[in-house]
Amino acid sequence: MSVEKKLIKDKIPKHIAIIMDGNGRWAEKNGKERTFGHENGVESVRSVVEGAGEIGVQYLTLYAFSTENWGRPKLEVDALMGLLVQSISNETVELMKKNVRLQVIGDVKSLPENVQCKLNWCIDTLKNNTGLTLVLALSYSSRWELTDAVRRIAEDVQQEKIKTDDIDKDLIDSYLNTAGMPDPELLIRTSGENRISNFLLWQIAYSELYFTPVLWPDFRKEDLFKAIYDFQHRERRFGKTSEQLMS
């Protein structure tokens, strides 16, 4: 029986986040430039978006470009930005057919003008869709997001829009880029690295972590289903005991 068929239908995570890693190593293994790995990573994105939509995941957040990635060689950064624009142009019709919406988290204003333009166009085109929301983390890092949220909260306290006593978990949630989204129940990282790398640090407080050695360009929806299968067989206790969960 395929892993997909073994999935428990009413236990599909509402939100899955993925750290797509290993493009460079995949390219090296194939004797090619790093950008070749990124290009092939697009097919993996296509496959997981399709798979997540098919089984009813509501939000899929992909770490496509971190704040720290700006420090990579200019050639690679330019190639990644170009790939992004090209992928959006090529995929929007397909995303429309699949009833997918698009959202972006991160410091969007730091992205090149043409990337911002393409993203806004795609978000607008897909805005009335009701299926999966694909969330691209671009120029994103958790510390950037939290710093930005703290700054805006402080400003709103100063302007007396809120009081310091109003600051609680829900208020902080509402100042994050992920406001309105459920926290990810499952975080996947490919390529055998066991790190979080500044991704959704606040939101993954109770997420299940799944690390796989598969390099991102080799990752397909079947690998996503395998991760979900594993997730469905874990006991999530949220600080409680097993006995409390039974009662």
Q: Which residues are catalytic?
A: 21, 69
Applying CB under 6 A, does 122 fall inside the site for ligand FPP?
A: no
The three state secondary structure string of 84-106 is: HHHHHHHHHHHHHHCCCEEEEEC
Is 136 a residue that touches ligand FPP (CB under 6 A)? yes
- Residue 165 CB, shortest distance to ligand FPP, in Å, is 41
Q: How far is the CB of 102 from ligand FPP (least distance, A)?
A: 10
| Three-class DSSP labels, 17-71 | EEECCCHHHHHHHCCCCHHHHHHHHHHHHHHHHHHHHHHCCCEEEEEEEEHHHHH
* Contact status, residue 137 vs residue 105, Cβ threshold 8 Å: yes
Give, as ranges, the residues between 141 and 200 that touch ligand FPP (CB under 6 A): 191
Q: Mask of contacts with ligand FPP, 45-64, x by CB under 6 A?
A: x----------------x-x
Say whether residue 42 binds ligand FPP (CB under 6 A): yes
Residue with tokens 């009701």: 130
Provide the terminal-to-terminal Cα distance of the chain, rounded to the nearest Å.
33
Q: Which CB, 45 or 153, lies closer to ligand FPP?
A: 45
- Answer yes or no whether residue 84 interacts with ligand FPP by CB under 6 A: yes
Site membership for ligand FPP, residue 22 (CB under 6 A)? yes
- Rounded to a whole number of angstroms, the minimum distance from the CB of residue 186 to ligand FPP is 19
**Rounded to the nearest 5 degrees, what angle is found at the Cα of 224, between the Cα atoms of 199 and 5?**
150
Q: Which stretch binds ligand FPP (CB under 6 A): 23-31, 103-111, 199-207, 233-241?
A: 23-31
Count of residues that bind ligand FPP according to CB under 6 A = 21
* DSSP 8-state code for residue 111: S
Adjacent-strand bridge partners of 17: 61, 187
Give CA–CA dist 73/15, Å, rounded: 32
Q: Tokens 């428990």 appear where?
A: 8
Contact with ligand FPP (CB under 6 A) among 16, 23, 36, 212? 23
Binding site for ligand FPP (CB under 6 A): 20-25, 34, 38, 41-42, 45, 62, 64, 69, 80, 83-84, 87, 136, 191, 216
